[in-house]
Amino acid sequence: MAAGRGQRKILDDLMYLVAEKLPGMALAYLIAVAASCCSRRLFGGTLPPLLWSAILGIAVGNFTTTPELCKAGVAFSKARLLRLGIILYGFKLSADQITGIGMAGLLLDFFVLLSTLMMGYFVGTKVLGLQPEPVLLITTGASVCGCSAVLAAQPVVKAKPHEVTAAVGTVVLCGTTSMFLYPFLYSQIPSLQSSPHFMGIYTGATVHELAGVVAAGNAMGPEVAATAVVTKLTRVLCLAPFLLLIQKFLPRDIEKQASVQVPWFAFGFVAVVGLNSLVAVPASFVAQSVSVSTLCLSMAMAGLGVETSIKKVLALGARPVALALILFAHLMLNGYLAARLLSSKDTL
């Protein structure tokens, strides 16, 4: 009898959790589906689904009244589904892909990651006077992989929803500009056209979003696109250690130290990359995993958007945008010079 009551209690608790979170998850799912449609049909598909999820989520959260029963599921989507999406994102990478870009590509990726972090933190906190949390979000987005990296960094730095949204906005601003600017420069500068491999590693190491790398690379040709995507995916692989590194830049007071947690999902991300490198994972399973990852991240962005207050975003002022533009200029100019230096050392 006692065992039966225990099983019923477990079942009741499970049903309660499902009932509590299902309405909000359904809302996030509908927003994600609508975002996917917008991404395919509007603006020539140049804006990624994650951005559309944030935009539509913000619209729902700020211009409608979100039912109370949806709040638990929205929070679950923003937090738990985010972690699952990041872990499954690892199926996009394998060790074999990394070796194809050569030592120059690897060194350029490392230069971009470390120099952007150091510059972003110094300029953001010391020059512009921003708090470390939004600075680290903007810097992570510029350093690693755009919106996905911002989302992954949020639970690590304990940033507020409006800070995450502001960081995503700056990433999209710079990343969208890159999609058009890089192909234009490539078409106008003969020295760039003479080395598609160079342009590939330069594009992959300095453009914010993976979608932006794909779009810009294909606009410049298949050889540039192939090298650019692998270089970009190698940056993505650095997400896990980068998340551990940015913890060192958080304030050192006791309260903040107590709130910092080990990003276990980041280790899950690395484990999936290792599995994908060592085991012949069926292509159909990889494709399904990537699709689920995209859905989870899109639902997380939707949940984040619903919980974002436009008034609080505007209260941050122009300084986050200024920081993002400074980092954008750093990626384009110093990234180019670093790529040229590596090329001159015959490491390509």
Q: What's the rounded Cα separation, in Å, for the pair 167 and 222?
A: 31
Nearest to 150 by CA among 24, 28, 246, 259: 246
Helix axes 49-63, 161-188, angle to 10 degrees: 140
pLDDT at residue 7 is higher than 70? no
In the chain, the amino acid numbered 181 is L
Nearest to 232 by CA among 339, 87, 138, 108: 108
Determine the pLDDT at residue 254. 32
Residue with tokens 């130290």: 257
In the structure, what pLDDT confidence band is assigned to residue 29 with cuts at 50, 70 and 90? very high
Please, what is the Cα angle at 253 between 250 and 254, to 5 degrees?
Answer: 115
Q: What's the rounded Cα separation, in Å, for the pair 61 and 77?
A: 14
In the structure, what pLDDT confidence band is assigned to residue 346 with cuts at 50, 70 and 90? very low
Determine the pLDDT at residue 259. 46
Determine the pLDDT at residue 336. 94
**Phi and psi based region of residue 153 (left: phi greater than 0; alpha: psi -120 to 50; beta: remaining):** alpha
Determine the pLDDT at residue 129. 93
The rounded radius of gyration (Å) of the Cα atoms in the chain is 21
Q: What's the rounded Cα separation, in Å, for the pair 272 and 197?
A: 28
pLDDT at residue 3 is higher than 60? no
In the chain, the amino acid numbered 230 is V
- Average of pLDDT values for 219-247? 83
Please, what is the Cα angle at 222 between 220 and 228, to 5 degrees?
Answer: 75
Tokens read off for 205? 């190491």
In the structure, what pLDDT confidence band is assigned to residue 258 with cuts at 50, 70 and 90? very low
Determine the pLDDT at residue 32. 93
Determine the pLDDT at residue 34. 95
Average pLDDT in the chain: 82
pLDDT at residue 321 is higher than 80? yes
Q: Picking from 176-180, 196-200, 272-276, 283-287, which range would have the lowest pLDDT averaged per residue?
A: 176-180
Q: Which residues have CB under 8 Å from 321's CB, separation 6+?
A: 170, 173
Q: What's the rounded Cα separation, in Å, for the pair 286 and 91?
A: 6
Q: What separation in angstroms does the CA of 338 have from each of 89, 333, 346?
A: 28, 9, 13
Determine the pLDDT at residue 17. 59
pTM of the predicted protein model: 0.71
In the structure, what pLDDT confidence band is assigned to residue 255 with cuts at 50, 70 and 90? very low
- 133 vs 222, more confident: 133
Nearest to 308 by CA among 163, 166, 155, 162: 162
pLDDT tens for residues 108-159?
Answer: 999 999 999 999 999 999 999 999 989 999 999 999 888 878 888 888 888 8
